[in-house]
Structure 1
Amino acid sequence: MSFTNAPVTRSLVYGLIGISIGASLLDIKHYFYILVDLHLWQFHQIWRALIYQLCYTNSTEVLFAAMTLYNMRAVERMWGSRKFATFIFVTSLFTSWLVPAVLALFLRPLTLGLFNYLPAGPTPIIFAVLAQYHAMIPPIYKYKIATSTSTSTSTDDQTQGITFSDKSYRYLLAFQLALFQWPGSLLGALVGWMLGLSWRMEVLPRSLIRWRLPGWVVGMRTQGRSQEFEGLRRRLEGENGSTAATSGAQGQADAEGGRRRTMGQQVIDQFQGAF
C-alpha cells in the first residue's frame, strides 16, 4: 500500500482529507455547498462554484472518496503524473461551472424548484477519473455469486449467478459516493463520467487534450530532461522495431534456405562445422 509513482493522487488524497478536516474544525463547511435560489439567484455568490469541490462536509464521504482515489492510482502510473495532473485541472475547470449550470438552468426549473441543492465535494472529478479507470485497467480475476440453489450436476458456466471482478468493489465505493446526497451528488457523478468519456473519445478540442501543465507543477526539474527521456524512448522503440524486422527477415531467409537444401546436404554441413 503506497503512492509509488503517483504523487498527484497522493496530493489529492491528502489535500481532500486536510481541507475537509480544516473546514470542520474552523466551522466553515457552510461555505462549500450551493443552494441555487439562495446563493446564486439571491446573493449572486458565483465564487461558490469555484470552491465547492475542495472538500466534503461529511466524514463518511471523505473516507469513501479517499479510498476511491487511492484505488485508482494506476491511472496516473499509466498516464504519467504530468498528463494526469492536466486531466484533473481541465476536469475541475469544466465541472466547476458545468454542474451548477445544469442544476440551476435545467433541473431546477424542470422540477419546479425541487432540485435546488448541490453538495460539496469533488465527486465529478472522481467519476471523470473513474471513466478512465474503467476503460484502461482490465480486471485481474472474476468470480460468480450463485443466486440459485440448484442440485443438478451442472458446470460452473451454467450456474445461475451474478459475476463480479476485482474491480467491482471499487465501483461500489464510487456508486455509494454518488448516492450519499442525491440528486445533487448523482448529478455531479453523471456529469463527471460524461466528461471523462468525452476526454477519452476525444470529443473535446484536440488542442485542449494535448495541452499539458508545466513540468514543475508535478515536480519535473527541467523540461529538457523530460524531452531527453522522451527522445531516448523513441530511439529504443525504433531500434527494437528494426531489430525485430531484421530478425524476421533473417529467419525467413534461413527457412527458405533450409527448404532448398536436401537432408544429405544438411548432414554434411553439420560435420563440416564440427571439423
Structure 2
Amino acid sequence: MFAATPPGFKNAPISKLFITITVSASIVSSIVGIKHYFFLQLVPHIWGWGQWWRLIVWEFVYLNESEVLFASLLVYNLRVIERMLGSRKYASMLILSYGFTFLLAPFLLILLKIVPSYTANYLPPGPTPIIFAALALYHDMIPSVYKFRISSSPPPAESDDTQSSSSSSAMSTSTPHTITLSDKIFVYILSAQLALAQMPASLICAFTGWLVGVLWTREVLPGRNWRIPELWWERTRSRGMASLAAFGTGPTPVATGVPVPTAGTGGEGEGGETAPTNAAATQGRGFGSQILDTFRGTF
C-alpha cells in the first residue's frame, strides 16, 4: 500500500534512529525496571512531591508493547516527510515539537481539571505528541497516490425480467452510500490506534502534537525557522549516522594472516606461509540486522 515510496530507510536516517531509540528505550526500561520513572501524574508527582523532572522525561519511553508497535509502524511510514524536507530540517522539526509538547500537554491537562466531569490526572508516557506533529505535516504536505470507493449499493440484477423489475424497484426506494478514501487512510488507521490507546489522556497527547504540527506548517510556530547548527550536524552525521547505518550489518572483525591449507598438502602453505582470509566468506549477520530486516522492503 506504500509502493510509491522506496522501501527501507534509504535517505531517512532520522526515522531509522527514531525507531531504534523508541524500541530500545522500551526494552531497556523494562529490563532495568525503571518504567515507574516515566509516569506523569499531576497529583502527587508534580503538586505533591515536586518531581518537575518528570515533565522532561515522560515523552521518552512507551510502557506498552502495542504502543511501541504502532508508533514504530507509524514512524516508518512517515519517513517520506524526511525525504521531502531533508534529514536536518526533519530532525530540527522533531526537536522543536518536543520543546513545545513536553510542557503544552501537561498544561492542557491542567486546564481540563476545571471541567467537573473530567477527572483524568495522568498522561501516558511516550513520544506520541512528537509523532502526531509529524503526522500533521504528512496530512498537509504529502499528496495521495490513489483513491478508492466503498459503496453500499446492492449487487447487479440478474437477467431474469421478474427479478430485474423487482430489483430496480428496490433500488429506486433505497439510495446507495459511497465513501471515497485514499491510500493515506492506512496511515490514519495506525494513528487512530495510537491516539485511542489510553483514552482519554492519549487523546490529549495526540491533539497537542497535531496542534504543534499544524502551527509549524502554517509558519506561525515560534522558532519554526530554527535548525540544528550545521557544524554540529555535520559532525554528528559523519560519526553517529555512519555507525547507525552500519548497525548490525557490518562485517565481523577477522584476523588477517590466518594459516590456510593449500591443495595437496593438507596443512599450511609451503614454508608456513599464510594466506589472507576471505572477508566475504566470514561476514556475519548481526542481531541488529535481523531486527532491521523487518523494515527493509517488507511494507
Given the alignment of the two structures, is residue 120 of structure 1 paired with residue 125 of structure 2, yes or no? yes
Q: One-letter code of the match for 1:212?
A: R
**Superposed, which structure 2 residues align to 1:1-275 within 5 Å?**
1-104=7-110, 106-111=111-116, 114-149=119-154, 151=156, 160-205=177-222, 208-215=223-230, 216-217=232-233, 219-220=236-237
Q: One-letter code of the match for 1:125?
A: I
Higher share in helix: 1
Worse-matched range after superposition: 209-218 or 42-51: 209-218
Q: One-letter code of the match for 1:192?
A: G
Q: In structure 1, how many angstroms separate the alpha carbons of the residues matched to 2:67 and 2:233?
A: 28
Q: One-letter code of the match for 2:46?
A: L
**Cα distance, 1:175 vs structure 2:** 0.9
Instruction: Work out the number of aligned pairs and report it.
Output: 215
TM score, norm. by length of structure 1:
0.74
Identity of aligned residues (%): 43
**Cα distance, 1:113 vs structure 2:** 6.2
Long gaps (5+) in structure 2: 1-6, 158-167, 239-299
Long gaps (5+) in structure 1: 222-275
The 1:26/1:84 distance shift into structure 2, 3 A limit, reads: same
Could you say what the CA RMSD is over the residues aligned between the two structures, in angstroms?
1.9
**Cα distance, 1:72 vs structure 2:** 0.4
**Cα distance, 1:110 vs structure 2:** 1.8
**Cα distance, 1:109 vs structure 2:** 2.8
**Cα distance, 1:147 vs structure 2:** 2.3
Q: In structure 1, how many angstroms separate the alpha carbons of the residues matched to 2:229 and 2:44?
A: 39
TM score, norm. by length of structure 2:
0.68
SS where residue 111 of structure 1 aligns?
Answer: coil
**Cα distance, 1:26 vs structure 2:** 1.3
**Cα distance, 1:13 vs structure 2:** 0.6
